[in-house]
Amino acid sequence: MPAKPGSTQIGFVGLGIMGAPMAQHLLKAGFSLKVYNRSDRPRVQQVIDAGGQRVATPRAAAEGSDVIITIVTDTPDVESVILGEDGIIHSVSKGATVIDMSTISPRVTQEIAAILGKQGVHMLDAPVSGGDVGAQNATLSIMVGGEQKVFDDCLPVFEAMGKNINLIGGNGAGQTTKACNQIAVSVANLAMAEALMLAAASDLDVGKVVDAISGGAAGSWQLTNLGPRILKGDFAPGFMVRLQQKDLKLVLAAANDVKLALPGVSLAHQYFNIVERLGGADEGTQALIKAYEAQAGKQARAS
Amino acid sequence: MPAKPGSTQIGFVGLGIMGAPMAQHLLKAGFSLKVYNRSDRPRVQQVIDAGGQRVATPRAAAEGSDVIITIVTDTPDVESVILGEDGIIHSVSKGATVIDMSTISPRVTQEIAAILGKQGVHMLDAPVSGGDVGAQNATLSIMVGGEQKVFDDCLPVFEAMGKNINLIGGNGAGQTTKACNQIAVSVANLAMAEALMLAAASDLDVGKVVDAISGGAAGSWQLTNLGPRILKGDFAPGFMVRLQQKDLKLVLAAANDVKLALPGVSLAHQYFNIVERLGGADEGTQALIKAYEAQAGKQARAS
């Protein structure tokens, strides 16, 4: 049955920097929400103030819900909130749908979908891109894996939170697509860092070089959006290095699962290790340039 | 003195796939051209038919010219047409300007500029991007190194051939900027290839993945423009693998000159070696995917 504001009950697990604004958009769209978060935070209170009913466990969030959304950090967290002691699996109704919007392992996603399936529970994997700004503005891209009918039924839920919503294939396909996304993101970041560093090491005006090359075949979202931040020395996080690293570990594990060699993204992962070693784990991914700056003894930012 | 159609005489050396349409745009803008090309080709005849006066040597093209443009393949070719036996240097007038629009070594560019400078001849390095389509439509990006006054005087010449025209710095700065451009282009290509291959190796619909990720932070010119060609199995050259490889050799030499480690672009260069080994030297740069396909025993293109 298609989800419908006013009648569909949603359980929402994980009110983090992404989950909290997403939950608020669902409330604003008219869905009833039972929310769970393991810790107290001001943003949890904001969701309650907006009409969310707080419950004490993921199991309680799933009780009587038609749709249960999980958006937590990593694979073990998803396993815990769905399959763990107080997990969703112990109360979820037959015919309900669990939508995991975390970024986790495609393989584990398929395993969880199979376990839920045996209980007559549907699952969609629906990781997002667009960052906290996308979550706040309900402009997230949502990459979905699962059955067409289940996807269609959940579309009103997705549409309350995002814009570019695509069913790619069966369970796990959303997570694999997110992995592909993170490959393209991180290696394009590497492309930018190396281009800027040759300019800097050659004593060119790096800003002029960025302006000259951004509009053509060298152009990318990374160059246009993160290049200017590097020039200003602005390393505040849009997306944090340590979360990028978590995702790249998933990418390399997914590649390993199908025995695919991906030397470019592997290199990006190693260079982010240098950045973390230099203390940049909580900075934005544009801090990748710092690995090159450290090697070159020269800064890319405008003086 | 600013270049002016009707009064400025231009010598034009190199009527290749780029040079021929560029020369025709200069003729159309009203400049007089003495043209030199080492071989006979239909496109050389087209330039003559459009009003170019053919001469037998680069030296003859430079004689009496205010501006001499060279656009040939590689560093030794530029050295030959400017400094060689029948080279430009033997006839060029004091106060004239040599504009090299080839993509060559920044270091050799500076050496040639110094030699010409001793004879009172100006030089600009002004490599282009935008490919044969950009040359035909006069929409090339032009990255210039040299003196501001010389650049200003030559602007009408550049404006007849391109759109995005930038003076970056002194002699060599145009070539270094082109090297930065080629870093960003080739590593963004690597980003696309690895993203598409994980999708293919995981048996996803690669076209759906490209559509889902192109609009966000994973987006790049390479993904938007070359991705769909890969899906169609179209490997016709926009820009040929062997020319990309020639440029990447220049990039790595320029990085070596300033002792900068660029592992990403170095990796792209090695993967293009695989493509050349597989017989793809004359294909478009989107053939980079073939190196991955060969390793994975799986094709990324839509079936």
Distance from C-alpha of A18 to C-alpha of A37, rounded to nearest angstrom: 12
Distance from C-alpha of A166 to C-alpha of A160, rounded to nearest angstrom: 14
How close A73 comes to chain B (CA, Å)?
Answer: 20
Q: What is the pLDDT of residue A112?
A: 98
A95 shares its domain with A188: no
List the structure tokens of B175: 């070539």
To test the contact with chain B by mutation, choose from A198, A211, A252 the residue with the greatest count of B C-beta atoms within 10 A, namely: A198
Q: What is the pLDDT of residue B77?
A: 97
B197 shares its domain with B140: no
Distance from C-alpha of B88 to C-alpha of A98, rounded to nearest angstrom: 73
Q: Output the domain CATH number for residue B197.
A: 1.10.1040.10
User: What percent of chain A lies above the pLDDT cut of 90?
Assistant: 97
- CB neighbourhood size of A64 (10 A): 13
Residues in a beta bridge with A71: none
Q: Which of B180, B185, B225 faces A198 most closely, judged by CB atoms?
A: B180
Mean pLDDT of the B204-213 span = 97
List the structure tokens of B86: 């029948």
Task: Check if B183 contacts A (Cβ < 8 Å).
Answer: yes
How close B238 comes to chain A (CA, Å)?
Answer: 11
Residue B242 φ then ψ, to 5°: -70, -30
Q: Which of B118, B163, B178, B249 is catalytic?
A: B178
In a domain, A58, yes or no: yes
> Which of A119, A141, A169 marks a domain boundary?
A169
Mean pLDDT of the B81-89 span = 98
| pLDDT greater than 80 at residue B256 | yes
Mean pLDDT of the B48-77 span = 97
Mean pLDDT of the B68-87 span = 97
Query: What is the 8-class DSSP label of residue A238?
Result: S
- Cβ contacts of residue B88 below 8 Å, gap of 6+? B11, B13, B58, B59, B61, B62, B68, B70, B81, B82, B98
> Which of B169, B201, B221 marks a domain boundary?
B169
Distance from C-alpha of A292 to C-alpha of B108, rounded to nearest angstrom: 26
Distance from C-alpha of B90 to C-alpha of B110, rounded to nearest angstrom: 19
In a domain, A29, yes or no: yes
First and final C-alpha spacing in chain A = 59
Average pLDDT, chain B: 97
| pLDDT greater than 80 at residue B13 | yes
Residues 88-127 of B with CB under 8 A from A: 106
Residues in a beta bridge with B162: B140
In a domain, B302, yes or no: no
| pLDDT greater than 90 at residue B192 | yes
Q: Output the domain CATH number for residue B42.
A: 3.40.50.720
In a domain, B301, yes or no: no
Distance from C-alpha of B66 to C-alpha of B75, rounded to nearest angstrom: 23
Active site residue B4: no
B163 shares its domain with B195: no
A216 shares its domain with A95: no
Considering its fold, how many domains does chain A have in total?
2
Among A73, A72, A74, A53, which Cα is nearest to A11's? A53
Confidence band, pLDDT 50/70/90 cuts, at residue A303: low
Instruction: Give me the helix-helix angle, B75-83 and B106-118, nearest 10°.
Output: 10
**Nearest C-alpha in A relative to B180:** A195
Tell me, what's the ipTM?
Answer: 0.96
List the structure tokens of A296: 């070159």
In a domain, A3, yes or no: no
A154 shares its domain with A181: no
Task: Check if B295 contacts A (Cβ < 8 Å).
Answer: yes
B240 shares its domain with B278: yes
Mean pLDDT of the A37-44 span = 94
A63 shares its domain with A185: no
- Cβ contacts of residue B247 below 8 Å, gap of 6+? B103, B178, B179, B182
Whether the Cβ atoms of residue B75 and residue B109 lie closer than 8 Å to each other: no
Whether the Cβ atoms of residue B211 and residue B146 lie closer than 8 Å to each other: no
Distance from C-alpha of A288 to C-alpha of A293, rounded to nearest angstrom: 9
B43 shares its domain with B68: yes
In sequence order, which ranges of chain B are alpha helices (DSSP H)? 19-28, 42-49, 58-62, 75-83, 106-118, 131-137, 148-159, 173-201, 206-213, 221-232, 241-257, 263-277, 288-296
Bin B63: left if φ > 0, else alpha if -120 < ψ < 50, else beta.
Answer: beta
**CA separation (Å) from A137 to A22, A100, A159?**
9, 20, 12
Residues 239-278 of A with CB under 8 A from B: 239, 251, 254-255, 258, 260-265, 267-268, 271
Among A112, A101, A105, A109, which Cα is nearest to A158's? A101
**CA separation (Å) from B29 to B2, B26, B32, B127, B138?**
15, 5, 9, 20, 11
In a domain, B272, yes or no: yes
**Helix, strand or coil, per DSSP, at residue B63:** coil
Largest CA distance in chain B: 65
- A·B CB contacts under 8 A: 252
Residue numbers in B near A168 (CB within 8 A)? 204-205, 208-209, 212
A30 shares its domain with A162: yes
Bin A97: left if φ > 0, else alpha if -120 < ψ < 50, else beta.
Answer: beta
Average pLDDT, chain A: 97
Query: What is the 8-class DSSP label of residue A41?
Result: -
State pLDDT tens for residues A255-276: 999 999 999 999 999 999 999 9
> Which of B122, B142, B169 marks a domain boundary?
B169
Among B75, B72, B73, B77, which Cα is nearest to B257's? B75
List the structure tokens of B178: 């082109």
Among B111, B181, B119, which Cα is nearest to B144's? B181
State pLDDT tens for residues B275-294: 999 999 999 999 999 999 99
Beta strands in chain A (DSSP E): 9-13, 32-36, 53-54, 67-70, 97-100, 122-125, 128-129, 140-145, 162-169
In a domain, B201, yes or no: yes
| pLDDT greater than 80 at residue A182 | yes
In angstroms, what is the C-alpha Rg of chain B?
21
**Nearest C-alpha in B relative to A211:** B166
First and final C-alpha spacing in chain B = 59
List the structure tokens of A7: 């009648």
Distance from C-alpha of B34 to C-alpha of B290, rounded to nearest angstrom: 43
**CA separation (Å) from B248 to A67, A100, B89, B194, B253?**
52, 43, 29, 19, 8
Residue numbers in A near B141 (CB within 8 A)? 212-213, 215-216
A60 shares its domain with A77: yes
* Parent domain of B55: 9-169
| pLDDT greater than 80 at residue B303 | no
Instruction: Report the relative pairing of strands B9-13 and B32-36 from DSSP bridges.
Output: parallel
B95 shares its domain with B119: yes
Q: Which amino acid is at B30?
A: G
Task: Tell me the pTM.
Answer: 0.95
**Residue carrying the six token digits 């053509």:** A216
Burial (Cβ within 10 Å: 0-12, 13-18, ≥19) of residue B94 = exposed
In a domain, A1, yes or no: no
A13 shares its domain with A159: yes
